[in-house]
Structure 1
Amino acid sequence: MYFWILSESEEPLAKPRQTYRQHVQRVLEAHLELWPQTQDYWSHLGALLIARRLFAADLPAFLKRLDAGLRLACATHDIGKLNQGFHLYMCAARDEGPVNRDWHFRHELLSLPFTVILAQRLSKELGPLPHDLPWEAVAVMGHHKRLDNTLFERERTRLFKPAFGMLQPPQLQNNAWDWISAYLTDDMQSCRDLSLKFWQEGAQLVQNGGAGRFVEQKDKLRESLQNFNSPEARFLLRWFGASFKAHLQICDWWASAERREIYGLGKLPASPIQSQNQPQIWLKEKLETTKKSAAASKPVNISWREFQHQVAALDDYAYCIAPTGSGKTEAALLWALNRMRAHPHLSKILYLLPTTTTANAIHQRLSDLFGKALVGLAHSKAKLLREDNEGESEEDNGEVRQNVLSEAAFFPPITVATLDQLLLAGLHGKYWVFRNHALAQSAVILDELHAFDPYTLGLLGAFAPQLRLLQVPVLALSATFPQPLRRLFENWFPATQQVQDHSLLAEARGQWQFRSDTDFSDQSFLQDITRRMQTERFLLVRNTVRGAQETFEQLRELGAPVRLLHSAFMQKDRREIEKAIFEAEKSGSKTSLVATQIVEVSLDIDYDHLVSELCPPDAMVQRAGRCNRARKKQTATITVLAADEVSHKVYQEKFGIDKILDRSAETLSQRLATPRRMSEQDLLDWVNEVYAATDLSSQPQYQEAERDFKQQQHRLGYVLDHGADDENLQTRWIREERVPVIPQKVWYGFSEKEQREFFASPVKRAMYSIEIPFWRRKLLHGQGNAMPLEFEGKRLEFFYWVDLPYDEELGLQLPKPAHENLKHTEIF
């Protein structure tokens, strides 16, 4: 055994350009800043734990012990970096020199014995943390790597013995602790003045591989939570553990970053949404300022409608039924601001939507309203949007990378996300501890809840008891809200309130007709609307990508001024198309649009006429909402055409409801025996008629999702991380595996420099990728029409080029199989 002796001219490093003391000091300073910001939340959580006898003393004792435990975790989490191997590794990184793999040994493991022993002292002095479980140890153990069964796998093969020595005990004591007493409370006497013997025994223990026996602390925690009989106890301890670990990691992130403030977490003087005593006046002024700017300085006066006042006054659990264009987004923001006033532990707004496109649209609206610094965006493609807006590659821009990470973790005061990101938090996916920590401090808005399939609703239903237990307010918005969905929401959140905008129920967007004997292959019909497209704007919506492409090509051949939007575009092209659509909207261009149901929810577009393939009624109402939004065009029309065979398969699979399109067609035919104006009330009646006999909670998809969610959390002991990437966690029913490809002509059109950048940059790969079903890529590969990408002797095994037609206007053109089956890539 030997110890490392550091020369007097050197200081041990925690980062390539940050000494150990500098880093740990910043971590502790971050705690001192973050602790008072989040104390209302911790008080709320502590009261819930005490009420269920998971903490033995009173609330002041809870806060005192928690503060001490967090300080201890911050002070000890990196002691393992005071090891010669780690120091050599940091020096090599600083000097851009070669790295010896033997230097690498997980510092969290080497820190663990010091954390455990000192936490035990604290528990004797101040009493244990909730249920006397090793929360400090587990937080330190998992503050960098996933907390799963593969943690410290490499160190286990070495019998937990580091190849290089820890600092000799006197230097270890001096660097790790002698200066730290200023950051410990007076109540932490047992941890203040540690003897040289403590450091001698600790260093010796680590050198001999003794840290390995402390790894079982995570298993003790997991098994304890699994064995609880009370679900409420398991849930509360899960959230406590997530928040404890998140707090340490937030402090560690802050200490490693160049920013000087911790933003978006807890109560902040700089966050205006948290300090509004008169939110209606404040939000009205914000809206008027934003609209005035958009209207080139013309005066704008906004008055709150009675419906919006009603929404703002709702309690914690409620749903709102209002047609598109009624102002329900602004009403929901008012509700969230009022919930924050009512509950001191709330400091954030989480706005959830069905798709990345709709999330992008709402994110832009709220950024214009509140400023970009206050509004974050979290979904699977959000980093591409951030990279494009900043104008630099994410890999090259530390500020961009930091923004992406903080927004993905729900840090900003307002976060716009897809619902999937919330469900991934429940399934213990990436960033789950941060997201749960933020969620517990948020008022949640669920926009267009009807758009989700029974499997997604089942996951949300399984998560709902935890949201209710933590007193997380939830407001659901929908233009339709079918009766089965109302019953489901009321079951999730008893004592649910509701508000409906009655003022627009008699209004109609236009003349409706159902042409059950006509479909999009009718050439004379397309010729007729092509003539009208010279002076009127049409939105044509197909149920599949291939259908949309076929209609677009037919219209283009007829000379129609039209664009196409669906999911089978490379991301860079799709963003350009969306940008052009919005610019055409602003300029008054007569360009029409062919699209899939990607346009259904929350896109701020408005066309003179809608022509849609038959779809379920709630989806049809959303499509109609993109036509004559202000209801001022007396000549507006909504024409519904017959659906093709693939559409029937798509919607039966998506909704889990047998013959959903047959039922929709039958009821619509009865209502539209002759063309007429369908009011908003007529549309709601149609929705409820189609779904009247449906019980969503009895659907096999819903029940399977509930089982999957509960089993996942139990298997992970409510505290461990899921080992797979988020892409492998299921949040939607259609579970066909999809894989990224790039059109062959695009790949071979790159220069060598561009191909090298493609191999090096995940962002660039995502910008040029299209996802197709795995089975289709396998078939193409067998035909020699798809191969893994290769460059300079390297191969991307997971990324293929495909020899399929592609252009910027039409997208990727998939071959039609001999026997058409439902495939995910066909839908959106």
Structure 2
Amino acid sequence: MGKKILAKSSKYGEETLIQHTQNALQVFESLKNAYPEVVEICNEEKFYEYLFTAIFLHDFGKAAEGFQRMLKEGKPWGYRHEIISAGFISCLSYPDDVRKDIALAIITHHRDLYELQESYSTLTISGKDNYVKRLKELDGNIKYLQYMIGEVPEWSKEYLGYEIRLKQVESIEEIQDVFYFAVREYLNDYEDKKVVKNKRKLFLRGFLTACDHLSSASQEEIIKAISDMEVLFKFDKYKDTQLKAMNTKGSAVLIAPTGYGKTEASLLWSNYNQNKSKGKRVFYVLPYTASINAMYNRLKNSFGDESVALLHGKAFYFLYKEFAKSGEDYFDAVNKAKTKYDLSKKIFKPYKVLTPFQILKYFFSVTGFEQHIGEMAGGLFIVDEVHSYDPHTTALILESLKYLKEEYKAEIFIMSATLPEFLKKLFMKELNIESLIEPNKEEIKAIARHKVSVIGGDVFFNISRIIKDIKEDKKVLIVCNTVDRAQKIYNELKKYTNKSVLLHSRFVLKDRERIENSLNKVQLLVGTQAIEVSLDIDFDILYTEPAPIDALIQRFGRVNRKGIKNASPVYIFSKGSEEDKFVYKNQKVVNTTLELLSNCNILSEDLIQNLVNETYKNGYDDKDYKEFLKARESFKSVISQLYPFIENKHLKEEFYEMFDNREVVPYIFKEEYIDKVKNKEYFEAAGYMVGISQRRYISLKKQGLIENNGYDVDFVYCEYDKDLGLLIGNTYDNIFTP
């Protein structure tokens, strides 16, 4: 076998090529057991045999002397080991189309084809000469690779389940030039739109990358789902909806009131729809960061930290704060958070709590899309609060779920407390869902948590009655539709109690965390839509500006949350502010909501769905419907441009353009932010960031209130108060002066 050949070397130790390959094959074995459906999805009986050979060969190029010197002495090599590794498909006796796919999977397991073609193509004289030169670096270590090839019968029996053999390589002249054999043809076909989209390509690249990454992260196998969900929950008695969910095979829609055990129902459904090995991944999809964090903590407490992953735009920061709060040193906390976050992104943990955008982005060719779409094969998707998205996002969610169901055998569980009839019918028809789960009408008729009143005037017109409730020591919740409005009313009321807080989207992260952690101790909470989602709060009385019925129902849910008190009063003002039309663009829906609620008194749960259906009886208005249809067609176009082995930069840009948000740092924190960045305490620096809309950012920039000093974020010259947040209308007087 000759001298020791390394695959990896770091301050934590060395790993030989044989060790790394066997570790990757160990992950392969667990992935093969978890995803038996892939053979059928690919329509490829020998898929896992092909994947075995790809993983076995994927790092052979690391035996080049230059690569070994780089590991042992730190000297740059200047070449890609994958190019040489892929050439070892000369060991394989499969048909050329299979060998090409395996070669493409190996050569791209770190870089996409265009990047490799640009810097390392062998189709030029200099590129070919460089390739031949690098191949010769294998001469001294070829016996090591020959030894490994001789081990294939034994390793295949152990990891694949049956014996296969590869052709032995006698000399480097037998190694194929993959640029000539596979890359050139694939890129030409891609540019001529002639690539045949078989799923074998996607799964080979995706699962090879997954096995390589997990073994490099010292993981031996992917984790399986909970073996017995029913034992875990230990309910004395299941609700009717939970019994139905836990016995429903295939996709379903669940409509049930808040606090009716929908989460447990959905997880029991996922348990019933698992495969024999409990290998199917479960994706719990929620719309907002706050609700995702809350659900992550809830599932982590139930299933264990090792089984639950967190994915959203600020997940890394949230995980860092978890470790920082436990007293970890800054850099230790960052390293532990990074390890946890990196594993969350891989095919590793069985339960992922995430936003729909964490699913959508991989259809837009974001790096690693083959691995992540592969992970979703046969997946179980729980989509909660599906009513809360705008028409554009709803269309993208619908089309992505439809594609996953039809092409990758996913199953879908849609659930909501307030799902309009037109959306329910749309999702059931398009996703071919036959099972509808609803609670017994008589059972929910007895649940009446709120007494509803629409009162004349706006919040300021009614301020005296709010003050009266505060003075009577009632726990009062006020919800406004805009941040500016919430700030103004909070300023008017905070003097009447020393237990008051304001919550909205324009607080820096560290203040937002502080406020959310204090909510159970306050008597007065003034907020915006930020309080609608998954905050564990319970107030005595609600005052709210007018909004669509589904948004109001979410706000009502923060009062008499558990339903153990008599029906609690919720007041809706008949007037909002002039800015409301920018928040709720369909004011007809808001007006219909007010009209219907004016005729209500005690709001029992059986009435809520009727009110929602009546409000949305005409579905989307013309403008929203056009937006919905446009987004559907757009997604179909995106899918048509998605090809394995190639990262489409145009698609990636299109995805990131969907987000109407800019991170800025208020001027008051400028020095602290810069100090943290200089000390490389980037996550502490992130605590000073606040998000504003793109429209607001452009407006402030035109006023000269945005400064860019070459940092990752800009500084905004508006006043900031720890209790009020960013005060957009209050300009800092000493702008840009020392």
Question: Shared fold by TM > 0.5?
Answer: yes
- Listed one character per residue, the Cα deviations across residues 287-317 of structure 1 (whole Å, up to 9, x for unaligned) are 7xxxxxxxxxxxxxx4212232122222311
Q: How far apart, in 1, do the equivalents of 2:560 and 2:261 lie?
A: 15
Does residue 134 (structure 1) correspond to residue 100 (structure 2)? The answer is yes
The amino acid that maps onto 2:21 is V
Q: Secondary structure at the match of 2:501?
A: strand
Q: How far apart, in 2, do the equivalents of 1:785 and 1:762 lie?
A: 24
Report the counterpart of residue 735 of structure 2 in structure 1. none
The amino acid that maps onto 1:489 is F
Q: Is the 8 A contact 1:221 1:717 kept in 2?
A: no
CA deviation after TM superposition for structure 1 residue 399, in Å: 4.3
Report the counterpart of residue 493 of structure 1 in structure 2. 431
Q: Secondary structure at the match of 2:252?
A: strand
Report the counterpart of residue 619 of structure 2 in structure 1. 694
Q: Is the 8 A contact 2:323 2:336 kept in 1?
A: no
Does residue 708 (structure 1) correspond to residue 634 (structure 2)? The answer is yes
Aligned match for 2:728, one of 814, 817, 828: 814
Aligned match for 2:608, one of 640, 658, 683: 683
Q: Any unmatched runs of 5+ in structure 2? A: 732-738
CA deviation after TM superposition for structure 1 residue 751, in Å: 7.6
Does residue 249 (structure 1) correspond to residue 209 (structure 2)? The answer is yes
Does residue 663 (structure 1) correspond to residue 592 (structure 2)? The answer is yes
Aligned match for 2:364, one of 407, 423, 427: 427
Q: How far apart, in 2, do the equivalents of 1:625 and 1:467 lie?
A: 33
Q: How far apart, in 2, do the equivalents of 1:547 and 1:812 lie?
A: 13
- Equivalent positions of 1:441-590 (< 5 A) are 441-469=378-406, 470-502=408-440, 503-520=443-460, 522-532=462-472, 535-559=473-497, 561-581=499-519, 584=520, 589-590=521-522
Report the counterpart of residue 360 of structure 1 in structure 2. 293
Q: How far apart, in 2, do the equivalents of 1:559 and 1:251 lie?
A: 57
Aligned match for 2:708, one of 775, 788, 792: 788
Does residue 739 (structure 1) correspond to residue 685 (structure 2)? The answer is no
Report the counterpart of residue 611 of structure 1 in structure 2. 543
Aligned match for 2:351, one of 414, 417, 438: 414
Aligned match for 1:756, one of 666, 672, 678: 678
Report the counterpart of residue 107 of structure 1 in structure 2. 81
- With the length of structure 2 as denominator, give the TM-score of the two structures: 0.87
Report the counterpart of residue 734 of structure 2 in structure 1. none
CA deviation after TM superposition for structure 1 residue 328, in Å: 1.2
Q: How far apart, in 1, do the equivalents of 2:185 and 2:339 lie?
A: 31
Once structures 1 and 2 are overlaid, which stretch shifts more, 429-438 or 600-609? 429-438
Q: Is the 8 A contact 1:23 1:256 kept in 2?
A: no
Change (3 A) 1:113 1:33: closer
Report the counterpart of residue 736 of structure 2 in structure 1. none
Report the counterpart of residue 95 of structure 2 in structure 1. 123
CA deviation after TM superposition for structure 1 residue 780, in Å: 4.1
Q: How far apart, in 2, do the equivalents of 1:560 and 1:89 lie?
A: 64
- Equivalent positions of 1:721-736 (< 5 A) are 721-723=647-649, 729=655, 735-736=659-660
Q: How far apart, in 2, do the equivalents of 1:378 and 1:643 lie?
A: 35
- Listed one character per residue, the Cα deviations across residues 622-667 of structure 1 (whole Å, up to 9, x for unaligned) are 1111111222222611111122222222222xxxx46332332333
Q: How far apart, in 2, do the equivalents of 1:150 and 1:75 lie?
A: 24
The amino acid that maps onto 1:708 is S
Q: Is the 8 A contact 1:454 1:702 kept in 2?
A: yes
The amino acid that maps onto 2:119 is R
Q: How far apart, in 2, do the equivalents of 1:189 and 1:349 lie?
A: 34
Q: Is the 8 A contact 1:563 1:809 kept in 2?
A: yes
Q: Is the 8 A contact 1:537 1:592 kept in 2?
A: yes
Q: How far apart, in 1, do the equivalents of 2:237 and 2:357 lie?
A: 35
Aligned match for 1:183, one of 108, 133, 152: 152
CA deviation after TM superposition for structure 1 residue 473, in Å: 1.7
Q: Is the 8 A contact 1:395 1:761 kept in 2?
A: no
Aligned match for 2:524, one of 574, 588, 592: 592
Q: Secondary structure at the match of 1:134?
A: helix
Once structures 1 and 2 are overlaid, which stretch shifts more, 721-730 or 385-394? 721-730
RMSD: 3.3
- Equivalent positions of 1:332-343 (< 5 A) are 332-340=266-274
Report the counterpart of residue 46 of structure 1 in structure 2. 39
Q: How far apart, in 1, do the equivalents of 2:202 and 2:295 lie?
A: 29
Does residue 387 (structure 1) correspond to residue 320 (structure 2)? The answer is yes
Report the counterpart of residue 327 of structure 1 in structure 2. 261
Report the counterpart of residue 263 of structure 1 in structure 2. 222
Q: Any unmatched runs of 5+ in structure 1? A: 1-7, 56-61, 94-98, 229-233, 288-301, 790-794, 818-828
Identity value in percent: 24
Change (3 A) 1:520 1:91: farther
Q: Secondary structure at the match of 1:498?
A: strand
CA deviation after TM superposition for structure 1 residue 686, in Å: 1.5
Q: How far apart, in 2, do the equivalents of 1:161 and 1:548 lie?
A: 69
- Listed one character per residue, the Cα deviations across residues 429-474 of structure 1 (whole Å, up to 9, x for unaligned) are 2443333222224322111111111111111222233322233221
Change (3 A) 1:153 1:773: farther
Q: Secondary structure at the match of 2:210?
A: helix
Q: How far apart, in 2, do the equivalents of 1:18 and 1:213 lie?
A: 38
- With the length of structure 1 as denominator, give the TM-score of the two structures: 0.78
Change (3 A) 1:345 1:559: closer
Q: Secondary structure at the match of 2:424?
A: helix
Q: How far apart, in 1, do the equivalents of 2:336 and 2:152 lie?
A: 29
Q: How far apart, in 2, do the equivalents of 1:189 and 1:225 lie?
A: 36
Q: Is the 8 A contact 1:445 1:474 kept in 2?
A: yes
CA deviation after TM superposition for structure 1 residue 705, in Å: 1.5
CA deviation after TM superposition for structure 1 residue 323, in Å: 0.9
- Listed one character per residue, the Cα deviations across residues 587-609 of structure 1 (whole Å, up to 9, x for unaligned) are xx353322211222333322111
CA deviation after TM superposition for structure 1 residue 404, in Å: 0.4
Q: How far apart, in 2, do the equivalents of 1:647 and 1:680 lie?
A: 28
